[in-house]
Amino acid sequence: MTAQPHDAGTEALRAWVAEQLGHARDRTRLLTDAVDEDDLIRQHSKLMSPLVWDYAHIGNQEELWLVRDVGGREPLRSDIDELYDAFQHPRAERPSLPLLNPAQTRAYTAEVRDKVLDILDTVPLEGRRLVDQAFAFGMIAQHEQQHDETMLATHQLRQGAPVLSAPEPPAGRRLPAAEVLVPGGTFTMGTSTEPWALDNERPAHPTRVASYVIDTAPVSNGDYLAFIEGRGYDDERWWSPAGWAHVRGKGLVAPRFWERDGGEWWRTRFGVRERLPLDEPVMHVCFYEAEAYAAWAGKRLPTETEWEYAARHDPATGRTRRYPWGDADPAAEHANLGQRHLRPAPVGAYPAGASPLGVEQLIGDVWEWTSSDFLPYPSFTAFPYDEYSLVFFGPEYKVLRGGSFGSDAVAVRGTFRNWDYPIRRQIFAGFRCARDPRPGELDTVE
C-alpha cells in the first residue's frame, strides 16, 4: 500500500496539494491551448459551456473558496462572481454573457493561483473542517479536474480537425469468465475517513446486499452491436416506458458518434473517424439505452450498492477497501484514468485492477450507469455548500460510478458518486450488467 499523503505530515501534505493543483492546471492549459481563440469562445453544443467559461469558472471557484474563505484575503474580481455562478446562467445562455476573453481568463486564473500557492504555504491545515487535511484544496483540485473532463467532452463535440493526441491504451485480453457470482453480505458503503471525499459520499454506513451476479467487464461495442443488429431499438419490449418514448421521439438508432456506412460501423473520436473497435467498452449511450440492452441480454443494471460492493468488499478478510485492487492510490497499471489515453481501453486491459472476485475495469475507462436514483445517504449533511450535491438529489438523476479515461485519479474513488439525467450521451458513460442468481446458482456458496 502506498503511503497516504494525508498521514505523512503537514509539509508532505502541502507538497501533495501543490502537485495536485499543478497537475490539474497543466491539464486545463493543455485542453485550452490546443484550440484557437474562436474555438475557446464558441459554443460547440447547447449542452456545453464555451471552453473559456469553464476556464474562468475554475479560477472563480478557486478564488471564492481558497483566496477569500480559506485565505481570508480581499476579492480579486468580485464583479465577475455572478457571470461564473453556474446557477445564475444555464449553459445555453453562457456564450452571450460579457465573459472575460481568453487572455483575461489566463491572467485571472494565474493570479488566483499565485495567491493560492502563497496561502497554501502558511495556512493551518487543521482546526476547522474546511481546511482539515487540506479538504478545501482537495475539493478545488477535484473541481478543476471535473471541469477538465467536461471540457474534454466539449472537445469530443467540437467539429474540425483533431487537436488532441495521446498514446494508445494497453491491449485487451480474454477474461476467464464473463460474469461472477457475488455472495451477499454486509459492507461499509460510503466513507467517513477518506479525507477528500465529497459530501454525497458520506457518511460511512453499514449496508446489506443480497447475492447477485455481475459482469466482469463493461459491455463492449461488439456486444452492443449485437443488440442493434438484433433490432433492439425497434422492439418496445426491452425499453422502459420513458426510455421508449425518448428513443422513438429522438429517433435514436445507435450510440452517439456512431455511423453506419454501407455494411460497416464507424465512429468519430476527437475528430478522428475510425472503424468501430469491437473490444472497447461501449460509450456515449444514455441510461435508457443501457437499461434496454440489459433487458435484451436477460439482465439488468446493477444498483449503486451492488457496484460499490463489487468494487470495495474483500471476501477473504471481510474488509471494505478503497479500490477494487486494495487501498493503494490508482497507478497506471490499475486503471485507465487521467486522459493518459484518449479512449477506453479494450476489455481485459487492466488485470492489475481486478477485484478479488475478478471484476475488472470498475475504475476508469467509462463511467458506469447504475439503476439508482441520486439520493442522500442516511444522515447526509451538505458540506461545504448546498449546490454541490443537495440541490440535485432526487429521482430525475441517475448515479454513475467508477470514472472514465477522462477522469483524474484525484476525482475518482471507490465511493465517488457522479450523476446525470438519464437522456445524456455526451458524457464518457457506458455500463455493465448484473442479474439475480438463478435457482441453484447459490448452492455453491451457502
List residues near ligand AVJ by CB under 6 A: 143, 146-147, 150, 388, 418-419
DSSP helix/strand/coil, 91:
helix
Amino acid type, 219: V
Quote the least distance from Cβ 356 to ligand AVJ, whole Å: 29
Quote the least distance from Cβ 181 to ligand AVJ, whole Å: 32
In the chain, what is the greatest distance between 2 CA atoms, to the nearest angstrom? 67
369 in the Ramachandran plot: left (φ > 0), alpha (ψ -120 to 50) or beta?
beta
Task: At 103, give phi and psi (nearest 5°).
Answer: -65, -40
Cis before 102 (ω within 30): no
Query: Of the two residues 232 and 344, which places its CB atom closer to ligand AVJ in the complex?
Result: 344
For residue 43, how many C-alpha atoms fall within 13 Å in the half-sphere facing its CB?
A: 14
Quote the least distance from Cβ 2 to ligand AVJ, whole Å: 26
Query: Of the two residues 23 and 91, which places its CB atom closer to ligand AVJ in the complex?
Result: 91
Pairwise CA distance, residues 438 & 179, whole Å = 13
Query: Of the two residues 146 and 220, which places its CB atom closer to ligand AVJ in the complex?
Result: 146
Residue labelled with grid coordinates 460579457: 98
Residues listed for the chain: 446
β-pairing, 418-420 with 212-215? unpaired
Query: Of the two residues 37 and 386, which places its CB atom closer to ligand AVJ in the complex?
Result: 386
Quote the least distance from Cβ 258 to ligand AVJ, whole Å: 24
Query: Of the two residues 147 and 398, which places its CB atom closer to ligand AVJ in the complex?
Result: 147
Quote the least distance from Cβ 236 to ligand AVJ, whole Å: 31
Query: Of the two residues 296 and 374, which places its CB atom closer to ligand AVJ in the complex?
Result: 374
Pairwise CA distance, residues 291 & 238, whole Å = 8
Looking at beta carbons, which residue is closest to ligand AVJ?
Answer: 146
Amino acid type, 23: H
Quote the least distance from Cβ 382 to ligand AVJ, whole Å: 13
